[in-house]
Amino acid sequence: MNGAAARMPEASAITVPVPLGDRAYDIHVGRGLLGEAGRRIAALGARAAAIVTDENVGPLYAAALAASLEQNGLRTATIALPPGEATKSYASLERVCDAVLAAKIERGDLVVALGGGVVGDLAGFAAAVVRRGVRFVQIPTTLLSQVDSSVGGKTGINSRHGKNLVGAFHQPSLVLADTGLLDSLPLREMRAGYAEVVKYGLIDDPAFFDWCEKNWRGVFAGGPERDEAVAQSCRSKAAVVVRDEREDGDRALLNLGHTFGHALERITRYDSARLVHGEGVAIGLAQAFRFSAALGLCDEADARRVEAHLAAVGLPTRLSQVPGGYGTVDDILEAMAQDKKVKGGALTFILVRGIGQSFIARDVPVDRVRAFLQDEITPSRP
Amino acid sequence: MNGAAARMPEASAITVPVPLGDRAYDIHVGRGLLGEAGRRIAALGARAAAIVTDENVGPLYAAALAASLEQNGLRTATIALPPGEATKSYASLERVCDAVLAAKIERGDLVVALGGGVVGDLAGFAAAVVRRGVRFVQIPTTLLSQVDSSVGGKTGINSRHGKNLVGAFHQPSLVLADTGLLDSLPLREMRAGYAEVVKYGLIDDPAFFDWCEKNWRGVFAGGPERDEAVAQSCRSKAAVVVRDEREDGDRALLNLGHTFGHALERITRYDSARLVHGEGVAIGLAQAFRFSAALGLCDEADARRVEAHLAAVGLPTRLSQVPGGYGTVDDILEAMAQDKKVKGGALTFILVRGIGQSFIARDVPVDRVRAFLQDEITPSRP
Ligand SMILES: NC(=O)c1ccc[n+]([C@@H]2O[C@H](COP(=O)([O-])OP(=O)(O)OC[C@H]3O[C@@H](n4cnc5c(N)ncnc54)[C@H](O)[C@@H]3O)[C@@H](O)[C@H]2O)c1
Ligand SMILES: NC(=O)c1ccc[n+]([C@@H]2O[C@H](COP(=O)([O-])OP(=O)(O)OC[C@H]3O[C@@H](n4cnc5c(N)ncnc54)[C@H](O)[C@@H]3O)[C@@H](O)[C@H]2O)c1
């Protein structure tokens, strides 16, 4: 596979720059980029690369990546971890750091994350702390990681106190989003990532939401629409990250749909058989719109339109669609209160005035949330 | 103890600024600062503090610190770890991070490291990664940590591949060096820290080395000389750190004596019953001077003077003083080659042209080191 790729003409790629001063980097988006990874990564000037992947992705793509790197003069070593959220643990951090050190990665060398958000978050964190920081490259292999987790430099693992509570801000040196790799992604994961694509339209880009309604089939089918959706999502996320790298301000808008979504993930104990992150986000996006409509902030028609689009691609939008149940209103409220976005006890929400018109609402009264959730679980009157 | 301290007049302190732009902070040095810690830390504007300490230091000082913080309106929680180098582990990192999260430390809050370099390195690293970074305060309780490890922002833990190989650059928000706390420090630890004090004179401050020769008794006895020695050491280290925060350049001068020293620590398997870090540094400093003299770079008289001063305070200066032996010349060379300061395979040494005249020598030929070590282990001819 790699031999052929190496002789192929350069894959055409869309480049999205992330202008973060001395931490600036490019995201390249396009089909076939894996075959050129060696050339592009070698240009960063390292002598060795530790490839971190998982046991689903590794067998599909790690050998091709290693061959491409080695053809370009980099020494490689590959570390494959079990797939799944449980891999974002202290134990895996130790395993990856020690493997990276065993691979004699020095300060000018690289860690390459080849996988979804789990691998990217973990490998990025390991890169941030091995020798107090080595560079890393993201090769995201899920739609979610191509449009979200590989951009912005948030890395980390989970603690028993909650998700992503231990980590570092560590920007990659390069992101290669090969959209062809998504061909092997299970449909359910594809849909979950798509929830984040839609989110960018809902945050501040109504034209992109229109585009999604018209072009989602091409995104799923793998046509040029897929590259365009990934690139546009990266542009959106990069713009927010550049304004607020360390999440002190309006980077919080990226959490649209996530306050409800995280609560559901917590309630379902991060059991991906029941709910994956993007499904929680899809329900959360629909709820953020319905909640905003209930508060009189946003038109009911917008809420219905958002829900209709998410449902069209096969995403859940209602609490009743959580397999195995979602507990009581109090369970949801409690799960929300544990969220790390609670500052000084007050509930912060991302609400909307319409499609593409989100804003940060601080001090949202808990009883308004309670009343809304009560309505949500009451079977709707005919 | 704290009640009295709270009514006492302000302890007189020497302040050493560390001007690192938006990461600038002050080091305060003086006897009795622990009693004022609450007031000084509250001024940083946090609402809660997690105190990290060890089981030797905790029983002596943690209650006084907690009381002082609470009197100044901060909520506290204390985490005490077993003393010793083995505590700088992944397992302890997990324990501290989870305890800090359990203490509901949010992004505006603080971690306070109360202990020696082990506690400071570990707690600082935990602060760097909990919620992707919370602030931390160093209250160093060993001479080594007051003059060295608490200044400069290097934090971390050990890996099975070597010491301090996993960590972060994370500057403290404040350092309180209460020199009175050293009264309870075992003499052996006091001496070990003193090796680092001497080092600053040897690097680039011959007048300070003169001062040390004249005033070391006061440093050990706890007179005003102790405060002066700590403050002057912090000034020296701060100056280097400000020039080279991330150790890309002449921060390496701080490794004077450490290439030999680390090799001995590795050979003695970091068994502090045999050799503590500062003892390794003392032998390493003496060796760096003898090696420089052997290379014709430095006057033999300077090497003898350095050795005489280290010996006067009770520090070892010769390989033969390593209890339990130091192995063969090859063992030492191999231990050196594993040092993380090896870049691209070449041996980097800090050498000297005299007292206070150190420099970075890259590509020191291994056979010169071998010949020198051979000489060192040959019983000296009368
Ligand atoms: N850092 C950030 O800013 C950020 C943002 C959003 C989400 N995240 C994190 O991302 C994680 C979720 O990421 P994810 O959704 O990519 O999950 P994931 O990494 O678990 O991948 C989902 C599944 O797809 C498999 N897979 C990946 N690529 C494949 C491919 N090309 N072909 C076949 N199978 C493939 C994986 O092995 C896994 O089983 C969560 O831990 C979340 O916290 C981080
Ligand atoms: N971060 C840096 O820049 C840097 C620089 C130099 C060394 N270090 C690290 O520092 C560590 C060594 O630090 P250390 O020498 O302070 O060792 P340490 O923290 O192990 O303390 C030495 C011993 O003294 C005890 N102790 C501490 N304060 C005491 C007090 N006031 N009274 C009585 N007992 C007390 C401790 O419990 C311990 O048993 C090493 O891990 C080394 O790697 C870090």
What's the CATH number where A163 sits?
A: 3.40.50.1970
Percent of chain A with pLDDT over 70: 94
- Please tell me if the CB atom of residue A144 comes closer than 6 angstroms to any atom of ligand 1: yes
In short, whether B56's Cβ falls inside 6 Å of ligand 2 is: yes
Asked, for residue B48, whether it belongs to a domain, the answer is yes
- Residue B4: the pLDDT is 45
The answer to whether residue B247 is catalytic is yes
Residues A267 and A275: their CA atoms lie apart, in Å, by: 10
Residue B217 CB coordination number (10 Å):
11
Name the residue at shortest CA distance from atom 18 of ligand 2.
B116
* B196 is an annotated ligand-binding site residue: yes
Cβ distance B73 to B42 under 8 Å?
Answer: yes
Which has the closest alpha carbon to B143: B341, B281, B318?
B281
Q: Is residue A314 part of a domain?
A: yes
B154 flagged as catalytic: yes
Residues A123 and A167 placed together within one structural domain of the fold:
yes
Amino acid B59 reads: P
Query: Mind listing the pLDDT tens digit of every residue in chain B (382 residues)?
Result: 444 444 455 678 999 999 998 899 999 999 999 999 999 999 999 999 999 999 999 999 999 999 999 999 999 999 999 999 999 999 999 999 999 999 999 989 999 999 999 999 999 999 999 999 999 999 999 999 999 999 999 999 999 998 899 999 999 999 999 999 999 999 999 999 999 999 999 999 999 999 999 999 999 999 999 999 999 999 999 999 998 887 777 788 999 999 999 999 989 988 888 999 999 999 999 999 999 999 999 999 999 999 999 999 999 999 999 988 888 999 998 888 776 455 555 688 899 999 999 999 988 888 899 999 999 988 654 4
pLDDT of residue B2: 45
Residue with CA at minimum distance from ligand 2 atom 33: B185
User: Which residues lie closer than 8 Å to B351 by C-beta, 6 or more apart?
Assistant: B288, B291, B292, B295, B297, B298, B358, B359, B361, B364
Chain A residues in contact with B106 (beta carbon < 8 A)? 343-344
One domain for residues A205 and A227: yes
CA gap B313, B191 in Å, rounded: 7
A243 is catalytic: no
Residue A308: partners with Cβ closer than 8 Å, 6 or more residues away:
none
What was the pLDDT predicted at A380? Answer: 57
H helix runs in B63-222, sequence order: 63-71, 90-102, 117-129, 143-144, 187-204, 206-221
Q: Does residue B59 sit within a domain? A: yes
**Residue B312 is which amino acid?**
A
pLDDT at A382: 46
Phi, psi of A272 (to 5 degrees): -70, -15
Share of chain A above pLDDT 90, in %: 80
- The reply to whether A102 touches chain B by the CB within 8 Å rule is yes
B88 catalytic? Reply is no
Asked whether residue A227 falls in the same domain as residue A350, the answer is: yes
First to last CA, chain A: 57
Q: Is A381 on the interface with B (CB under 8 A)?
A: no
B121 plus B260 within the same structural domain: no
Amino acid at B189: E
In B, minimum Cα distance to A342 occurs at B106
- Of A184, A212, A247, at which residue does a domain stop? A184
In a domain, B255, yes or no: yes
Say which amino acid occupies A313. Answer: V
Spacing, Cα B155 to ligand 1 middle (Å): 30
Query: What is the spatial distance between Cα B284 and Cα B36, in angstroms, rounded to a whole number?
Result: 38
Residues A306 and A179 in one domain: no
> Which H, E and C letters describe A305-336, residue by residue?
HHHHHHHHCCCCCCHHHCCCCCCCHHHHHHHH
B196 and B178 housed in the same domain:
no
**Residues, chain B:** 382
* Strands B25-30 and B14-18, sheet pairing: antiparallel
> Whose Cα sits closest to atom 35 in ligand 1?
A185
Q: Above 70 in pLDDT, residue A342?
A: no
CATH number at residue B265: 1.20.1090.10
Residue A179 and residue A48 share a domain: yes
Tell me the HSE value of A67 on the side-chain side, using a 13 A CA sphere: 12
CA nearest to B290, candidates B271, B304, B274 = B304
> Would you say the C-alpha torsion A211, A215, A219, A224 has a positive or negative sign?
negative
CB atoms within 10 A of CB B48: 19
Q: Please check whether residue B333 is in contact with residue B370, taking contact to mean a CB–CB distance below 8 angstroms.
A: yes
Q: Is residue B93 located within the same domain as residue B200?
A: no
Q: Are residues A163 and A20 in the same domain?
A: yes
What is the number of domains present in chain B? 2
Nearest protein Cα to ligand 1, atom 14: A117
Predicted local distance difference test score (pLDDT) of residue A359: 96
Distance of CA B245 to the CA centre of its chain: 16
Domain boundary among B168, B184, B200: B184
Whether residue B55 contacts residue B80, with contact meaning beta carbons closer than 8 Å, is answered with: yes
Look at B106 and A166 and tell me if their CB atoms are within 8 Å. Answer: no
Token digits for A366?
């808990």
Instruction: Note if A196 is an active site residue.
Output: yes
CA atoms in the 13 A half-sphere facing the CB of B94: 14
In a domain, A23, yes or no: yes
Q: Nearest residue on chain B to A166, judged by CA atoms?
A: B130
Residues of chain A in contact with residue B168, where contact means CB-CB under 8 angstroms, are: 128-129, 132-133, 168
Same domain as A286, residue A262: yes
What range defines the domain where residue A155 resides? 3-184
Radius of gyration of chain B (CA): 20
**Last residue in a domain, options B160, B184, B208:** B184
How high is the pLDDT of residue B325? 86
ipTM: 0.91
Q: Which of A78-82, A242-246, A294-298, B173-177 has the weakest average pLDDT?
A: A242-246
Question: How much is the pLDDT for A251?
Answer: 85
CB contact under 8 A, A101 and B159: yes
- Cα–Cα distances in Å, from B351 out to A295, B4, B202, B212? 71, 49, 10, 21
**What mean pLDDT, rounded, does chain A reach?**
92
| Residue A157 shares a structural domain with residue A30 | yes
CB-based contact B106:A166 (threshold 8 Å): no
B194 and B77 within one domain: no
Q: Which ligand minimizes its atom distance to the CA of B114? A: 2
Asked if residue A279 is part of any domain, the answer here is yes
Residue B356 falls within a domain, yes or no?
A: yes
Ligand 2: distance of its center to the CA of B230 in Å? 15
Q: What is the pLDDT of residue A267?
A: 92
Q: Give the tens place of pLDDT for each residue, A346-377.
A: 688 899 999 999 999 988 888 899 999 999 98
Residue in chain B nearest A107 by alpha carbon: B343
Ligand 1 center to A151 CA (angstroms): 13
Q: Name the A residues in 261-300 with CB < 8 Å from any B CB.
A: none
Sign, CA torsion A310/A203/A186/A322: negative
In a domain, A382, yes or no: no
Q: Mind listing the pLDDT tens digit for each residue in A15-70? A: 999 999 889 999 999 999 999 999 999 999 999 999 999 999 999 999 999 999 99
Percent composition of chain A: helix, strand, coil (DSSP 3-state, to 5) = 55, 20, 30
Please report the pLDDT score of residue B15 as a whole number: 97
